Amino acid sequence: MAASVKIIECPRDAMQGMERFIPTERKIDYINALLRVGFHTIDFGSFVSPKAIPQMADTAQVLRGLETGNTSTGLLAIVANIRGAEDASAHSAIRFLGFPLSISETFQKRNTNKSIAMAMEELRAIKEICVKANQKLVVYISMGFGNPYGDPYETATVVDYVGRLGEMGADVISLADTVGVATETEVETLFNAVSQTFTDLEIGVHLHSRPDTAHAKIAAAWRGGCRRFDGALRGFGGCPMAGDQLVGNIATETLVDFFTSQGVDTGIEQGELDRAMAIAASIFE
């Protein structure tokens, strides 16, 4: 049987930093097109303060317009606190709640206005909300490959947090290179460490990269044992809360090209991907 990979499409990550508000109907049309492509999951929106991320203020309205009846693709919404998790848990169409946990104290405060210790406490409560709503918890370890703030970082720290999150009951843990600082060697080293230590956990990667290093980073994560990859069509995206020069997401089409060339089953319908790419070009022009 051919190897397979889970590809997660992140239109929310691509949209959230745009200054021009994307009309709700255009978001609905775009995400409905993505639902026909064959992605494992779509990170489609967030239940966070509209003052912090104005572009995502219409997430609940977008959700009502999505055609989820004829797709196996799951919907993921980002939350940053208990209130957001409670709001998201009220929508049965949402399968996953995603929470950004930074191992950089500076970035955790910038991103969610709380300390790492406070965020860990909130995560325990959010996990309980997920259990009650029959939703799964995806935790993103932000700044998982280093940070630009001079905060302490080492591979052992990431391994420690993966273990703590696994004990807490996180269903998926995704290692995020939030500002695109990781090298190919660092990606492979970290994934070798976590995949060998935690054989029973689903651990993915959310890479940001410039196009010239994207293939090498994807290959490094794959060699290290990663089987779950986030991307955004045409490589748009970046975290507006980082406040630094943004490096875009790994382009989804780059992921598909890489895995197709390796004979890995992506589950992607190429014709539907091409149609979604055309819509993306008009939204992110």
Active site residues: 239
Number of CB atoms found within 10 A of residue 156's CB:
9
Query: Which string of DSSP letters, residue by residue, matches 24-72?
Result: HHHHHHHHHHHHTTT-SEEEEEEES-TTT-GGGTTHHHHHHT---TT--
Query: Which string of DSSP letters, residue by residue, matches 264-277?
Result: -B----HHHHHHHH
Number of CB atoms found within 10 A of residue 182's CB:
26
User: Nearest CA to 7 among 211, 279, 264?
Assistant: 264
Coil, strand, or helix at residue 239? coil
Region class of 33: left (phi > 0), else alpha (psi between -120 and 50), else beta:
alpha
Distance of alpha carbon 119 from alpha carbon 135, whole angstroms: 19
Distance of alpha carbon 87 from alpha carbon 169, whole angstroms: 21
* Residue whose tokens read 């977008």: 62
HSE-CB of 109 using CA atoms within 13 angstroms: 5
Helix ranges, 139-269 (H)? 155-168, 184-197, 211-223, 252-261
